[in-house]
Amino acid sequence: MSNPDAVLARMREYMVGPTRFMILHACFELGIVEALRKESGLTAADLGVVVGAKPDAVEQLLVLPLKEGFVARDETTGGYTLGSLADVAEPDLQRVLTFMGMIKTGMMRQLYYLKDSVSTGRVVGLEELYGFEGTMFEAAAVVPEVRAAWGPLARSETASVYPWFFSSFDVPDGARVLDARGGNGLGAIMTCQLKGSPGLRVTTFDRPELEAECRKNFQAQGVAEQCDFVGGDVLESLPGGYDVVLLKHFVDMYDKDEVLTILRNAHGALEPGGQVVVLAPVYPEDITDPGDLQADFFPAYILGCVVGRGGLQKLSAYRSWLEEAGFEVTKVSAKDPAEIPADAIINRVVICATKRD
Amino acid sequence: MSNPDAVLARMREYMVGPTRFMILHACFELGIVEALRKESGLTAADLGVVVGAKPDAVEQLLVLPLKEGFVARDETTGGYTLGSLADVAEPDLQRVLTFMGMIKTGMMRQLYYLKDSVSTGRVVGLEELYGFEGTMFEAAAVVPEVRAAWGPLARSETASVYPWFFSSFDVPDGARVLDARGGNGLGAIMTCQLKGSPGLRVTTFDRPELEAECRKNFQAQGVAEQCDFVGGDVLESLPGGYDVVLLKHFVDMYDKDEVLTILRNAHGALEPGGQVVVLAPVYPEDITDPGDLQADFFPAYILGCVVGRGGLQKLSAYRSWLEEAGFEVTKVSAKDPAEIPADAIINRVVICATKRD
């Protein structure tokens, strides 16, 4: 893109990004789409009564969905009907709305402080909005609004990712598995359920304050005999003597020096020949790939809304960092493209690597 | 767009809109682009020192500009250079950055409250952020942050619009002109300067609290003899006896019933055969026109960030409303497309109409 007009036109696209998002979101949030799903042909006046807004405002909000063909309008009656939105299956729509809800609550206002977050390495948006110092994950534990926005997305993502993740690597019979930053124990529980074998033992490693909840979940799921909890910080050290170390969903929340520390700690936690399994979204090797929107999303999400540091890397970067930390990559798995919905922003891989020396 | 995957892919585009905008804005705001303009080949480490941020974060923010070709990177040295951004002329870039600055400060956080603004007809974002009840224009008078974001954009827009506006209609010699909602008197002053004739008299009509500032501006510009100020509300009534009534930059801030009231008040203010001149942005007649981004921007801007009501209309709507209020449209002027920069979102017209009965 070297024609100055093309650059200016592209910047214009950027400038309408926030409004496009919020107009569409408001149409769902107000219940306009739902009302049209229930009854076709409602006018702006009808819709105004249903959703509790002035008809003029409803009409304005619907101009963009009309432009997109998401809804249609009969110019004679003024009645609206669902357009292309009617073709989207309900579970697909719900998945998108869950993501959109997180963007609205967890990002729109926080993004205003992106520059400050980058300068300070802290999520300034959380401090400004909630007086909370820490990450969005930590905030979700104590701020109801953050939990309400993040919780449903986390569940939706987990449901879509975990079955595929656990099918992407092998756990030897009777192995000892360490789930680093394993949170409330879900990874350990699923390891028992999906990779079970006689003698299998799984340890969830995370901040000590998570121990009680984690052990309660082990009990509830009937895996307390096979599972244990160890408290600590992945940047300090990991316990030793394991055959498999899982690093799920978090290396992208650290900068390079920290990722290397974590990988070295994983190396130390493994027996000779042991395996580390990394689950992470990765940038495409060709960053100009227009089909991959992670560059458009993640830097602002991770730096400005979630942790104030870190970010995605290319697979080649993780490969070289794993080698630097004493591993040899043995297998990389990506999701079957046919199983990735068209609205998906995140593109994760599973990297298996063996302790080399 | 009837293929469900096309709809989902389009919603994905919407979801990355806010982050795209803020990532690019942060690159300018932090001074990264400026640093690369001054010196080519700076690495993330160099840039981190210059802009005061961790190199890892700088690298993350630059992934999207790399994807766009806005910047380039030498993979051997890790040095960044300006890509296509280097081709954009400085005044063009400054114009875009002025608009982007308003979007960041005047919209990003406010947009979060769009649904609430639509439900209440008030700019809830201004209430939540500043405890201010009223419009963004009113807030700009008392909230420094709002003025800082809005003022430069208003000046930039005025400079680009007013010369064209005043070339788009005739003022008879010795006419009496009423500039409805004429604010601080700029419209009256320019009428004297650009449409002057012996006997010409111009009245600025607006809220009484603007009188002092307006008269001071008349004095400073040497037009106090020809200009007057009358205080009042355009929705109540306008003073009478005029040959020309100017309705600049504000009919899009009112709903249909209010616009009709204003047009009828303008009708009452005019002598037989008098002329109303409306300056307003208009939606394209074919709302699906992909080259027009006003549907993508204005509903959220006007409802959620500026006045909490109103919105753009098509030219055909204004035409029929003018007829309904007793006018006959005599001339419609649009800007020469060659003079509209590629980043422009707003597309204004000047509508001249004569009092018919």
From first to last of its 357 residues, chain B has per-residue pLDDT tens of: 569 999 999 999 999 999 999 999 999 999 999 999 999 999 999 999 999 999 999 999 999 999 999 999 999 999 999 999 999 999 999 999 999 999 999 999 999 999 999 999 999 999 999 999 999 999 998 999 999 988 888 888 888 899 999 999 999 999 999 999 999 999 999 999 999 999 999 999 999 999 999 999 999 999 999 999 999 999 999 999 999 999 999 999 999 999 999 999 999 999 999 999 999 999 999 999 999 999 999 999 999 999 999 999 999 999 999 999 999 999 999 999 999 999 999 999 999 999 996
Candidates B87, B115, B301; nearest CB to A19: B301
- Domain assignment present for A279: yes
Q: Domains in chain B: how many in total?
A: 2
Model ipTM? 0.96
Q: Are residues A159 and A302 in the same domain?
A: yes
Q: What is the mean pLDDT of each run of 10 residues along chain A (357 residues)?
A: 89 98 98 97 98 98 98 97 96 96 97 98 97 94 92 88 95 98 95 96 96 96 97 97 96 97 98 97 97 98 98 98 98 94 96 93
The rounded distance, in Å, linking the Cα atoms of A279 and A351 is 7
* Chain B residues 44-63 within an 8 A CB cutoff of chain A: 51-54, 56-61, 63
Question: Is there a domain that residue B223 lies in?
Answer: yes
B215 and B170 belong to one structural domain = yes
Tell me the Cα Rg of chain A: 23
Same domain, B220 and B82: no
Inside any domain, residue B154: yes
Interface test with B, best of A60, A96, A120 (most B CBs within 10 A): A60
Give A7's contacts in chain B (Cβ within 8 Å). 70, 84-85, 87-88
Query: Which of B87, B122, B137 delimits the end of a domain?
Result: B87
Using one digit for the tens of pLDDT, what is the confidence trace for A256-290?
A: 999 999 999 999 999 999 999 999 999 999 999 99
- pLDDT for position B1: 56
Last residue of one domain, picked from the residues A56, A87, A118: A87
Asked whether residue A74 falls in the same domain as residue A217, the answer is no
Cβ <8 Å between A22 and B68:
no
- Give the per-residue pLDDT at A1: 56
Handedness of CA B176, B181, B185, B187 (dihedral sign): negative
For chain A, say whether B24 makes contact (Cβ under 8 Å): yes
What chain B residue is nearest to A291 in terms of C-alpha separation? Answer: B9
Q: Give A203's strand partners.
A: A178, A228
Residues 285-304 of B with CB under 8 A from A: 287-289, 293, 295-304
Q: Is B187 found in the same domain as B62?
A: no
> Considering only CB atoms, which chain B residues are within 8 Å of A69?
1-2, 288
Residues B55 and B132 in one domain: no
**Structural domain includes residue B96:** no
Min CA distance, B18 vs chain A (Å)? Answer: 4
- Any B CB within 8 A of A12 CB: yes
Claim to verify: residue A298 and residue A203 sit in the same structural domain: yes
CATH code, domain carrying B205: 3.40.50.150
B141 and B66 both lie in a single domain: no
How close does chain A come to B265, measured CA to CA in Å? 21
pLDDT at A2: 62
Which chain A residue's Cα is nearest to B312? A60
Say if residue A184 is in the same domain as residue A76. no
With respect to residue A100, please indicate whether it lies within any of the assigned structural domains.
no
Kindly report the CATH number assigned to the domain that includes residue B82: 1.10.10.10
Same domain membership, residue A270 and residue A227: yes
**B117 and B71 within one domain:** no
**CA-to-CA distance for B259 and B238, rounded, in angstroms?**
14
pLDDT digits (tens, 9 = 90+) for B13-71: 999 999 999 999 999 999 999 999 999 999 999 999 999 999 999 999 999 999 999 99
Q: Does the residue A349 lie in any domain?
A: yes
The answer to whether A123 and A308 have CB atoms below 8 angstroms apart is yes
Chain B neighbors of A84, CB-CB under 8 A: 1-2, 4, 6-7
For residue A346, the distance in angstroms to the closest alpha carbon of chain B comes to: 11
Element (H, E) at B71: strand B71-73
DSSP three-state, residue A283 = strand
- Helix then strand then coil, % of chain B, to nearest 5: 55, 15, 30
Give the DSSP H/E element, type plus range, for residue B157: helix B144-166
Is A281 in the B-facing interface, judged by CB distances under 8 Å? Answer: no
Mutant choice from A1, A2, A21 vs B, greatest count of B C-beta within 10 A: A21
- B74 residue type, one letter: D
In chain B, which residues have their Cβ closer than 8 Å to the Cβ of A321? Answer: none
Same domain, A268 and A347: yes
- In a domain? residue A251: yes
Question: Which residue segment(s) compose the domain that B78 sits in?
Answer: 4-87
Q: Please give the C-alpha separations between residue B289 and each of B283, B285, B294, in angstroms, as whole numbers.
A: 10, 9, 10
In a domain, B13, yes or no: yes
In this complex, do B4 and A88 lie within 8 Å of one another by their Cβ atoms?
A: yes
Contact A118, A304 (CB under 8 A): yes
Q: Rounded to the nearest 5°, which phi and psi values hold at B288?
A: -85, 0
- CA distances (Å), B292 to each of A12, A337, B298, B316, B332, in order? 11, 34, 11, 16, 18
